[in-house]
Amino acid sequence: MDGALRAVVTGASSGIGAATVRRLRAEGWSVLAVARREERLRALAAETGCEPCPADLTDPDDVARVAQAAGACSALVNNAGGAVGTDPVATGDPADWQRMFDVNVLATLRVTQALLPALRASGRGDVLVMSSTAAHVVYEGGGGYAAAKHAEGALARTLRLELAGDPVRVIEIAPGMVRTEEFSLNRFGGDREKADAVYAGVREPLTAEDVADCVAWTLTRPHHVNVDLLVVRPLAQAAQHKVVREP
Ligand code: 8X3
C-alpha cells in the first residue's frame, strides 16, 4: 500500500464509518475521520491514529473546514447518513424526510463538491458513496429513506458521467441488512425493542466490518478498475422482502 494514500471518512463515529476508519488505518492509509460527536472521534483517534475532525455536514462552514483539514487526499468515503422513522407515505412527517435528504443526499453533495479539487489533483481519486439496497428497491414504511437513498444513488451515477475523463472513480456500495449499534436504534427513535426486532431470527446479518471490507476492496483495486456498484447482503436476505428468520 502506498503510504501517501489519504482518505476522508464521514459518519466515522460509529458503525460502518468507524469500521472503515479502523480498516483503512490497518492498511496504512492516513485517515481524516469526520462526524459530529467529538468524544467518539477522539477515542477512535487514540485507538487507530486517525485524525479526528468534528463537523456537522449539514453546515456549509463545517464542510469548508473538513476540506481544509483534508488537504491533499485521494479518497472520500461518503458514509454519513441514516434513516428516520418507518411511517407510511400517507402519514410520514415531512420533517423526517427533510432530515433524511439533509444527512444522506445533501451531506454527500456538499462534501463531494468541497473535496473534488483535491481528489482530481491526486491523479487517482475516489468518491465512494455508501448508499443502501434502499437506493435500488422500495419497501413499505421506507418511503423517505428510499427516496433519499435513490437520490444519493442518482448523485453517484450522474457524477460518474460528469467526471468521465478525470482520474476520479465513483464507487457506490449498497448494503442490505447490516446490524450496527445505531442504525435501527436511530431509525426507531431509540426504541431498543423495535430496533432489535429488525434482526430477530436472522442468522448473521452483515456487520460493519463486512461492509468496511467491501470499502477497502473497492478502493484498493488497480485504479483503472471502477467498481460502479457493489450490492452486498447477508446470506439470509435473498432480497429486500425475502429474509430468512429462524425461530
Ligand atoms: C439499510 C438497509 O433494508 O434498512 O440501508 O433499507 S434497509
State mean pLDDT over 91-115: 98
φ, ψ of residue 177 to 5 degrees: the values are -75, 110
Q: How many A from CA of 2 to the centre of ligand 1?
A: 34
Looking at CATH, the fold of the domain delimited by 6-243 is given as Rossmann fold (3.40.50)
φ, ψ of residue 139 to 5 degrees: the values are -150, 155
Q: Give the pLDDT confidence of 55-82 residue by residue, as tens digits.
A: 999 999 999 999 999 999 999 999 999 9
pLDDT at 194 over 90: yes
Pocket test for ligand 1, best of 132, 182, 206 (most atoms within 8 A of CB): 132
Atom of ligand 1 at shortest distance to CA of 145?
Answer: 6
Pocket test for ligand 1, best of 131, 177, 211, 242 (most atoms within 8 A of CB): 177
Count Cα neighbours of 61 within 13 Å in the Cβ-side half-sphere: 0
Percent over 70 (pLDDT), the chain: 98
Tell me the C-alpha to C-alpha distance, in Å, between residue 164 and each of 18, 122, 126, 220: 31, 16, 13, 20
Q: Per the residue annotation, which of 29, 97, 101, 145 is the catalytic one?
A: 145
Angle at 9 between CA 202 and CA 188, to 5 degrees: 40
Q: Give the pLDDT confidence of 167-188 residue by residue, as tens digits.
A: 999 999 999 999 999 999 999 9
Rounded Cα distance, 60 and 74, in Å: 21
Which residue has the least CA distance to atom 2 on ligand 1? 176
Model-level pTM?
Answer: 0.97
Q: In the prediction, which pLDDT does 2 show?
A: 45
Atom of ligand 1 at shortest distance to CA of 134?
Answer: 6
Which residue has the least CA distance to atom 6 on ligand 1? 134
Q: In the prediction, which pLDDT does 3 show?
A: 44
Atom of ligand 1 at shortest distance to CA of 176?
Answer: 2
The reply to whether 145 belongs to the active site is yes
Q: How many A from CA of 138 to the centre of ligand 1?
A: 10
Rounded Cα distance, 77 and 172, in Å: 10
